[in-house]
Every structure is written in C-alpha cells, then in structure tokens.
Amino acid sequence: MRILVTGGAGFVGSNLALTLEQEGHEVTALDDFSSGHFDNLCGFKGNVISADVVDAVLEEIVPDTEAVFHQAAITDTTVTDQYRMMRVNVEGFRNVLRFALKKKIRLVYASSAGTYGDGKNPMKEDQAPKPLNCYAFSKSVMDNIAREIIEKGSIPIVGLRYFNVFGPREKYKNKAASMIWQLSEQIKEGKRPRIFTAGEQKRDHFYVKVIVAANLRAMEAKKSGIVNVGTGIATTFNRLVEILNQTLKTQLPAEYFGNPYTGVYQDETRADTRLAQELIGFKAEYSVEDGIKEYLATQSSKLKSQNDNSKVKNKLLF
Ligand SMILES: NC(=O)c1ccc[n+]([C@@H]2O[C@H](COP(=O)([O-])OP(=O)(O)OC[C@H]3O[C@@H](n4cnc5c(N)ncnc54)[C@H](O)[C@@H]3O)[C@@H](O)[C@H]2O)c1
C-alpha cells in the first residue's frame, strides 16, 4: 500500500514509518522537523517531505496515498501558545481529514490519554474529557471532529488514545521525552534520578513497539472508533527508578522535588484496554520491565557500534 505518515520524522512516526516499510509498504514521511529529526529516519528508503501539515496540499504532494497515519502535532504539553497548539494539532488534523475524505481512504490518528485529565481510573473511552492543558484540549477537539465522521461512516477512521510511550528515537523530544528516557539519562550520567515528591505518581507506560503494533491493527480494523492504547497497568515513578537501577546495575536513589504542575497534573493514568481489544483486536504484549530492558539494550548496542565506527575512523585518520 502507499502510505502517508505525518510527523514521520518524530518518535512514534519514524518507528511506524520504518516498520511499515519493512512490511513492504511504500511509505512517505511528512514532517516540518520542529520536534522530529532526520536522524530518526536514517535507513528509511521512502520519500521524505518537509511541509507544514496545516496547509500542505496533500492532493498535489501525495496524490496516490491509500492510507494515512497522522502523528504530526505539537507534543510538548507545556507549550502555552494556544493559537499555535490549536492551529497545528486541530487545523493540521482537519487538513489531513479533508484529504482522507476526498480520497475516501483510511485514516488512523494519534489522540492522547491527556484528554482524560485527572479523570477516574481505569480511564475508559466514554468518560467525559477533562483536559488540563491546551495540548489535551486540542486532542479532545480532534476526537470530537473524528466522532462526527465515525457517526456518518464516511471513511474508516480510528483514533488511538496513546498513554505513555517510551523507546528508541524519542531523544529529540528533549524535555517532552518519556520519564524513562529522562531518568535513564540522569542515571547514566551518574546523577540521582529526579522525580516529583513522593514518587507515587503513576503512568501506564509502554514500549514503542506496542504503539506500532496498535497502529498496524488499526489499519485493518473492520470498525471505526476511538480507543485507548495502554497496558492497563500503571507503574509509579519510584518503581521506574528501581527497574532502571536494576537494569543499569546502579544504585542511585531518587531525588525528590516539588511538582510545579500541581493542579494541572495527571497523578495517575491507566487505560481500560477492553474497547481496543474489541474494536481493533489489540492487546499490549510488553510489560514495562521488558520494554525498559529491550530499550536500554538497544541504546548500549547503538553506542558500541558508534564507538567501533569512530575507532575505524581514527585508524583511517592516523
Ligand atoms: N509519545 C507519547 O507518549 C504520546 C502520548 C500521547 C499521544 N501522543 C501523540 O502521538 C503523536 C506522535 O508523538 P511523538 O511522541 O512521536 O512526538 P514527536 O514530537 O516526536 O512527533 C511529532 C512530530 O510532528 C512533527 N510536527 C509538528 N508540527 C508539525 C507541522 N505543523 N507539520 C508537520 N509536522 C509537524 C514534529 O516535527 C514531530 O516529528 C502525536 O500526535 C502525539 O500527540 C504521543
């Protein structure tokens, strides 16, 4: 199939684009490189288009597209420029949706667990949205727009409410990268991992392979809808520190500091996973422990090959 991945140079988008390509699809990655990075697409053989998803004329740029995975968004939840956030996330989505409707093709898009705010757990798709920031609000507006199309049955459309994803190719998100990335970087630098007091905040963290698998399922789903993607298990930040210390063979205790986002912070997120199973036949297969082990092993093998390469380069130079 000819597939468009918006936000294709980003964390999830690049993992998805590379997997779709491995599976034999012809993939185009579109990105404005605001939080994405070319390095994420090293080895990608498909087409890469640098464009703003808000006003890209997709009918002209990628006329033969047969399915779209829409990942492009401002993903830093602390961005306070509401016009920019709404323009990129909502109007960007509307542009992609317009294109999918015109071409009558399938659209799978990234929503977020942020839409639930501090709602009750486990978070269920039919509970009222309670966005605590403009990012989460933009995602709930996207879901409202999608719901109208789903009701009309115009095209197959699946919204995936991602919980907390971690894994390779997230580092260019910097401060918006996962807690697992932030804490592991601190530990690797020999610093104590810094978490909000008293570390009992919980998140439904899952490995990036899980989200790629969920997107692939959504591509084949018989029904349209908006579903959670999570494991159904929430892990505390204290437990993350424990797992990271075990995996990295370190013993650095957490350093606690006050949460500056009190009042607009999700203390716990945990997905109700039943609808995803029912609608797109998806269940997460990785535990957070296994995901972290695989993630850190990938990082150390990448580091080893970088070191080996630089040794070869040094030999050539001297
Ligand atoms: N990673 C998570 O834990 C998580 C959780 C919930 C939802 N999501 C959603 O998943 C999607 C992918 O997020 P991610 O984690 O890969 O973040 P990311 O920031 O790495 O990816 C977003 C990509 O969109 C691109 N982009 C931003 N504005 C654009 C524009 N105007 N035109 C074209 N491209 C633009 C960025 O350059 C980036 O490559 C996003 O929609 C995000 O809201 C992610």
Provide the H-helix boundaries in 153-236.
Answer: 179-188, 208-220
Nearest CA to ligand 1 atom 27: 73
CATH number at residue 89: 3.40.50.720
Residue 263's pLDDT band (boundaries 50, 70, 90)? confident
Lowest mean pLDDT among 66-75, 129-138, 252-261, 298-307: 298-307
> Phi and psi of 228, rounded to 5°?
-75, 145
Query: Residue 259: what pLDDT?
Result: 93
| Orientation of helix 134-152 relative to helix 92-103, angle to 10° | 20
Q: Has residue 306 been placed in a domain?
A: no
Task: Express as a percent the part of the chain with pLDDT over 70.
Answer: 94
Please say whether the dihedral angle defined by the alpha carbons of residues 273, 274, 275 and 276, taken in this order, is positive or negative: positive
Judge whether 133 lies within some domain: yes
SS3 content of the chain, % helix, strand, coil (to 5): 45, 20, 35
Q: Is 88 in the pocket of ligand 1 (CB under 6 A)?
A: yes
**Containing domain of residue 117, as a range?**
2-172+205-232+270-287
Mean per-residue pLDDT for 122-148? 97
Q: Does residue 303 sit within a domain?
A: no
Give the model confidence (pLDDT) of 189-207 as tens digits: 999 999 999 999 999 999 9
Position 19 in a domain: yes
The H or E element containing residue 110 is strand 106-112
- The residues pairing with 255 across neighbouring beta strands, listed in sequence order, are 194
pTM exceeding the 0.75 threshold for the entire prediction: yes
Cis previous bond, 198, omega within 30: yes
pLDDT at site 299: 82
Q: Give the H/E segment covering residue 28.
A: strand 26-31
- Output the CA 317–ligand 1 centroid distance in Å: 40
Q: What is the pLDDT of residues 14-71, one digit of tens each?
A: 999 999 999 999 999 999 999 999 999 999 999 999 999 999 999 999 999 999 999 9
Rounded to 10°, the helix 11-22/208-220 angle is 60
pLDDT of residue 7: 98
| Distance (Å, whole) CA 209 – CA 266 | 24
Residue 125 located in a structural domain: yes
* Two tokens, residue 301: 């093998």
Q: Per the domain annotation, does 180 fall within a domain?
A: no
Residue 262 has a pLDDT of: 87
Q: How many domains does the chain have?
A: 1
CA–CA gap between residue 269 and residue 121 (Å, rounded): 7
Catalytic residue status for 109 = no
Q: Is residue 314 assigned to a domain?
A: no
Beta bridge partners of 29: 5, 48
199 within domain boundaries? no
Contact assessment for residue 188 and residue 252, using Cβ atoms and an 8 Å cutoff: no
Name the strand (E) or helix (H) holding 161: strand 157-162
Q: Are 167 and 207 in contact (CB under 8 A)?
A: yes
Q: Which pLDDT score is estimated for 313? A: 44
Which of the listed residues 68, 71, 142 should we mutate to test ligand 1's pocket, taking the one with most ligand atoms within 8 A of CB? Answer: 71
Q: Give the residue from 153, 149, 1, 110 showing the smallest Cα distance to 62.
A: 1
Token look-up 């799978």 returns 108
